């Protein structure tokens, strides 16, 4: 079983995790806070630490400024410092293809892969909001089709740059004075719709060949891209009931089934549903902790988050009635996957209050360590998951609980490692090191 430790917000899995009595919001800009967390994840033998990101302060509503956890250290900067403080755990940086240049990103990820001895991963996202566009010289966010087209080309160029040095291109021969073998250094000379990049990269090919490619999109375009390229997919989960299991099995089969047409094996991609365990030593304690976690978000903030995901302000509608309209997903230009999840709830007749409570408190699973391990084992064994991307009601306490209570239970059942056996993240995940496109041509 593959396990990712997810930092969705720096204080935990929820926008209001920072308010948890055991959270430490004073640490959000302090290296030791993050070091402690990622070292705990490493003690728990997690495959990777997964750091989410956005490129703006969510200030569409006043509640976002007043109440939301709106500061985030920049991913590459943070993960590189953490590489120096860890030895085994993979480090996944969320980086947008919409507001970056492939040469910079190829170089940063290659550098992180070197500095960490092969532990870098890239969570490819396309960003979501007009607010982000306005921080990068545009008025509006790129439309869905265009940003996926750009994302595909971005990943192509980046991987091309990683291949620009063959694995044995560096000679470093002091005596003869030959630093590199010119026949093994290649220009990319890419000219596409979105990018023109000549190359070569000024960092040699990364230890992993390519840093591991992570993705989360579950739209049609997102699934096609994942089947073609992704090595880890972070999947959203509607619930941990039998119905949720069935939906995840269906998603799992759908995605793995698409891989053959891209010449890939099912094992080349690990599907990790999200899970936010709320752990109690007893069921009652778990229920109490769940209630505490769900009480942290002020109602106005919850309502505004719902308005955000619906793409329109719904705060003037009656709280205890169903919404009197159903947003059009085709006209929508934020995450279609998130909107689809909300539409399913609208179709079930939830009231506005029920809706925002569900949207705010997503993916949590309250129970004893055994109950949580039961669900994880069942989903893993029944073809719904290759592992999980675990988030936490608050940090560092929620992670401490998981590592101290759930990980040993999974290890006892023989479904999770007791020691790291590999050296690189690819080795933890059982993924092949990709061949270099230019070396192949020579053979």
Known binding site for FMN: residues?
Answer: 53, 94, 144, 148, 219
- Which residue's CB is nearer to a copy of itself, number 78 or number 375? 78
* Cβ at position 101, least distance to a copy of itself in Å: 6
Extract the tokens encoding 313: 């302000």
- Which residue's CB is nearer to a copy of itself, number 49 or number 103? 103
Cα–Cα nearest to 187, from 179, 198, 202 = 198
The helix (run of H) or strand (run of E) holding residue 270 is strand 270-279
- Which residue's CB is nearer to a copy of itself, number 192 or number 408? 192
Query: Residue 224 and residue 257: Cα distance in Å, rounded?
Result: 11
Cα 237 to its chain centre, rounded Å, is 14
* Cβ at position 152, least distance to a copy of itself in Å: 17
- Which residue's CB is nearer to a copy of itself, number 49 or number 251? 49
* Cβ at position 81, least distance to a copy of itself in Å: 4
Burial code (b: 16+ CB inside 10 Å, e: under 16) for 35-61 equals ebbbbbbbebbbbbbbbbbbbbebebb
- Which residue's CB is nearer to a copy of itself, number 13 or number 387? 13
Locate all alpha helices (DSSP H) within 58-208, ordered by sequence.
62-67, 75-83, 102-115, 130-134, 144-162
Locate all alpha helices (DSSP H) within 312-368, ordered by sequence.
336-347, 352-360
* Cβ at position 92, least distance to a copy of itself in Å: 15
Provide the Cα torsion 396, 30, 97, 103; round to 10°: -130
- Which residue's CB is nearer to a copy of itself, number 85 or number 346? 85
* Cβ at position 394, least distance to a copy of itself in Å: 11
* Cβ at position 419, least distance to a copy of itself in Å: 23
Give the orientation angle of helix 352-360 with respect to helix 336-347, to 10 degrees: 140
Whether the Cβ atoms of residue 34 and residue 422 lie closer than 8 Å to each other: no
- Which residue's CB is nearer to a copy of itself, number 54 or number 357? 54
Q: Phi and psi of 279, rounded to 5°?
A: -100, 130
The helix (run of H) or strand (run of E) holding residue 229 is helix 220-229
Q: Phi and psi of 194, rounded to 5°?
A: -110, -25
* Cβ at position 116, least distance to a copy of itself in Å: 8
Query: Residue 420 and residue 46: Cα distance in Å, rounded?
Result: 9
Whether the Cβ atoms of residue 363 and residue 237 lie closer than 8 Å to each other: yes
């Amino acid at each position: 079983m593959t396990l990712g430790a997810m930092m969705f917000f720096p204080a935990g899995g929820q926008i209001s995790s920072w308010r948890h009595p055991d959270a430490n919001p004073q640490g959000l800009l302090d290296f030791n806070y993050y070091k402690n967390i990622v070292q705990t994840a490493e003690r728990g033998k997690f495959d990777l630490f997964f750091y989410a990101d956005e490129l703006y302060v969510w200030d569409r509503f006043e509640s976002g400024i007043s109440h939301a956890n709106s500061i985030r250290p920049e991913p590459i900067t943070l993960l590189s410092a953490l590489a120096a403080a860890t030895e085994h755990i993979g480090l996944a940086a969320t980086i947008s293809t919409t507001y970056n240049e492939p040469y910079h990103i190829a170089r940063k990820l290659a550098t992180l892969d070197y500095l960490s001895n092969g532990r870098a991963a890239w969570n490819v996202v396309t960003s979501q909001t007009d607010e982000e566009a306005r921080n990068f010289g545009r008025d509006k966010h790129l439309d869905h089709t265009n940003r996926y087209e750009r994302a595909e080309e971005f990943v192509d160029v980046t991987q091309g740059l990683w291949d620009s040095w063959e694995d044995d291109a560096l000679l470093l021969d002091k005596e003869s004075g030959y630093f590199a073998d010119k026949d093994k250094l290649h220009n990319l000379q890419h000219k596409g719709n979105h990018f023109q990049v000549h190359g070569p990269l000024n960092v040699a090919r990364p230890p992993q060949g390519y840093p591991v490619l992570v993705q989360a999109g579950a739209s049609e375009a997102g699934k096609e891209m994942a089947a073609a390229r992704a090595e880890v997919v972070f999947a959203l989960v509607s619930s941990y009931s039998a119905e949720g299991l069935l939906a995840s099995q269906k998603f799992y089969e759908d995605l793995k089934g698409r891989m053959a047409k891209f010449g890939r094996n099912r094992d080349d991609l690990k599907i990790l549903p999200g899970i936010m365990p709320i752990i109690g030593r007893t069921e009652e304690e778990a229920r109490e902790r769940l209630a505490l976690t769900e009480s942290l978000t002020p109602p106005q903030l919850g309502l505004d988050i719902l308005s955000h995901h619906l793409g329109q302000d719904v705060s003037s509608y009656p709280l205890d009635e169903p919404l009197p309209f159903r947003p059009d997903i085709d006209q929508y230009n934020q995450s279609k996957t998130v909107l689809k999840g909300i539409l399913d709830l609208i179709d079930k007749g939830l009231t506005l209050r029920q809706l925002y409570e569900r949207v705010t408190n997503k993916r949590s699973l309250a129970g004893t360590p055994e109950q949580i391990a039961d669900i994880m084992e069942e989903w893993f064994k029944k073809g719904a998951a290759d592992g999980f991307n675990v988030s936490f009601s608050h940090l560092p306490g929620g992670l401490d609980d998981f590592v101290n209570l759930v990980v040993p239970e999974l290890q006892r059942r023989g479904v999770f490692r007791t020691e790291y056996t590999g050296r690189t993240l690819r080795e933890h995940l059982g993924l092949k090191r990709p061949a270099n496109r230019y070396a192949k041509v020579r053979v």
